Every structure is written in structure tokens, then in C-alpha cells.
């Protein structure tokens, strides 16, 4: 970088690198940290685990003083916090106060939900992407725009009331680094919040989109095998579908997605009877 680069130019350069996915600041030359001090021969400190100890609500289990929370403790804390939430607003506040998941540290916003609570159809995606992290709403990027077009094709929208209403949330409320897939621990610790979210939203059916949503709600992945097959999730009828982001990468699958949308429309129209029954 030039020595006479002014603040505005430097900031623009940094912003451009962040947009490209740069996550670390490094020098032009490699540096061997082991040669810096006589302590270099000592083993490197163990990296901090992904799950950290944090304050928990009354009645929730916590890690021993000076220790780190286990996954089991993180899940139990999530269950206690979710169960204590009496409405969607308090559930959102509980999730915002949940400190056991490292994803929160790298996210800009909690992405809770969008659409109409009480809608008959609830769509559950995987996790926020960059655009969702910035906006604080699910499905607002290119995949979200495709989802809106898909819903409009069957007379539904997130800002619509009545029979055309839809409610949208994700398995994870925080963006994973570099948009990677949610891992098993993250799904496990945040699943209690998702279950409570569904209870409070009160939909008639669920539309899990993508592998992570199917893993969380159905306990299995393999969306190409699962899609289009009616099943039950959290006691509700569910129809797995391709995630819109996958459809952007594989437009030839849109024909199958359209068939699934027609099945959803028929289910809603016919009073909750899956096609073929």
C-alpha cells in the first residue's frame, strides 16, 4: 500500500477486500512466531472451543467456574431460555441474549424472522447470508428474491395477509463465516429456539428448505431424495424443498421446485390434504 494513501482511499481498499472475503490482516512477508522469543519452544496454547461459557437464565445449567460450557450445557440453557419465552418478542430477546454460540461474535445482526406470524405456511431456511446479516431479515439476497418470485407464482407473499400469508425463519439466526454450512453442534444448540419459534408462530405446515433445515427438523439430510415427499416435522405436515440458493446454482431443478410449490398450493386450498391422499 502506498505511504501517501489517504484515509478515504485506505477505507475503500479495506472495504473492497472485505467484500472479497478477506478475514485476517497479514503482512507482506511471512513471520515465524516461534523464533520471536525464547518461549517459542513451548507448545502452542490450545485454541478456545467453539462453545463458550456465558450467563444463563435462572434455572438454566451453567459451566463450572473457570471452565467452558459443554454442548450439553449449551443445549440445556437454550431449552430453558426458549421455554421461558411467552411470545415471539420475548423469544427474539432470549435469542439475542444467548451467548453459547460463537456465530454471534462474528455476525452483525440477529436474523429472527420475516412475514406474518400466524400464517398457515412457515418456511424454514438454513442460515443468513451476507445480505441477510446486514438487513437483519431472512431471505433478502438473490436467493430471497427468487423465493419471493416463487411464492408470488402461487399467490403468496411475506407481506400479504390471509390465505396468502407466509412466515419465514432460519435454523440459525446468525451468519456462519464465509456462508459455510451450519455444523451439527450449532444446529443442536439452537434447535430449542427453532422449536419454540414454530410453537409461537403457530403455522399449519412447514416448508424446510435445504439440507440444514431437513437435518434440524427431520433428523436427516439428502435434499434431492427428500424433496417432494410429504412428512411430519414437530408434529406438523412438512414438505422438504430445494433451497432457492441451490436453484440459482442448478436452474434445471426449478421444474421440481415448481411441482413442490403446486403441491403446497393444493394442500392449502384443499384444507390440509396432501396430494394423492
First to last CA, the chain: 67
- The helices-and-strands tally (H runs, E runs) of the chain is 11, 6
The beta strands (E) that lie in 101-230 are given as: 113-115, 121-125, 166-170, 205-208
Predicted pLDDT at 271: 73
Q: Give CA separation, 24 vs 17, 20, 27, 204, in Å.
A: 10, 12, 10, 45
- Among 8-22, 38-52, 220-234, the range of highest mean pLDDT: 220-234
Number of domains in the chain: 1
Is residue 9 domain-resident?
no
Is residue 93 domain-resident?
no
Is residue 183 domain-resident?
yes
Predicted pLDDT at 23: 61
Report whether 48 contacts 29 (CB < 8 A). no
Question: Mean pLDDT throughout 142-161?
Answer: 96
Find the CATH number of the domain harbouring 250.
3.40.470.10
Is residue 62 domain-resident?
no
Least confident of 18-27, 73-82, 106-115, 154-163: 18-27
Give the domain range for residue 168. 108-269
Is residue 210 domain-resident?
yes
Is residue 94 domain-resident?
no
Residue 97 cell numbers, joined: 441474549
Is residue 239 domain-resident?
yes
Is residue 1 domain-resident?
no
- Name the β-bridge partners of 231: 238
Q: What is the pTM of this model?
A: 0.74
Amino acid at each position: 500500500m502506498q505511504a501517501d494513501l489517504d484515509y478515504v482511499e485506505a477505507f475503500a481498499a479495506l472495504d473492497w477486500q472485505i467484500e472479497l472475503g478477506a478475514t485476517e490482516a497479514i503482512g507482506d512477508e511471512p513471520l515465524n512466531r516461534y523464533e520471536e522469543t525464547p518461549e517459542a519452544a513451548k507448545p502452542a496454547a490450545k485454541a478456545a472451543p467453539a462453545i463458550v461459557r456465558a450467563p444463563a437464565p435462572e434455572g438454566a445449567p451453567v459451566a463450572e467456574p473457570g471452565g467452558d460450557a459443554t454442548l450439553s450445557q449449551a443445549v440445556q440453557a437454550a431449552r430453558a431460555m426458549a421455554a421461558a419465552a411467552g411470545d415471539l418478542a420475548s423469544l427474539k430477546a432470549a435469542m439475542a441474549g444467548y451467548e453459547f454460540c460463537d456465530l454471534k461474535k462474528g455476525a452483525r445482526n440477529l436474523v429472527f424472522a420475516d412475514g406474518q406470524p400466524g400464517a398457515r405456511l412457515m418456511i424454514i431456511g438454513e442460515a443468513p447470508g451476507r445480505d441477510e446479516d446486514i438487513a437483519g431479515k431472512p431471505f433478502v439476497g438473490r436467493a430471497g428474491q427468487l423465493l419471493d418470485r416463487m411464492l408470488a407464482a402461487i399467490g403468496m407473499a411475506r407481506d400479504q395477509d390471509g390465505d396468502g400469508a407466509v412466515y419465514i425463519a432460519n435454523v440459525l439466526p446468525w451468519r456462519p463465516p464465509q456462508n459455510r454450512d451450519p455444523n451439527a453442534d450449532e444446529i443442536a444448540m439452537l434447535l430449542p429456539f427453532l422449536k419454540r419459534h414454530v410453537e409461537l408462530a403457530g403455522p399449519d405446515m412447514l416448508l424446510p428448505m435445504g439440507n440444514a433445515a431437513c437435518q434440524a427438523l427431520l433428523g436427516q439430510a439428502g435434499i434431492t431424495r427428500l424433496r417432494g415427499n410429504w412428512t411430519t416435522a414437530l408434529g406438523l405436515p412438512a414438505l422438504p424443498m430445494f433451497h432457492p440458493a441451490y436453484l440459482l446454482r442448478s436452474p434445471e431443478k426449478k421444474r421440481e421446485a415448481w411441482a413442490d410449490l403446486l403441491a403446497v398450493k393444493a394442500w392449502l386450498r384443499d384444507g390440509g390434504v396432501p396430494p394423492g391422499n
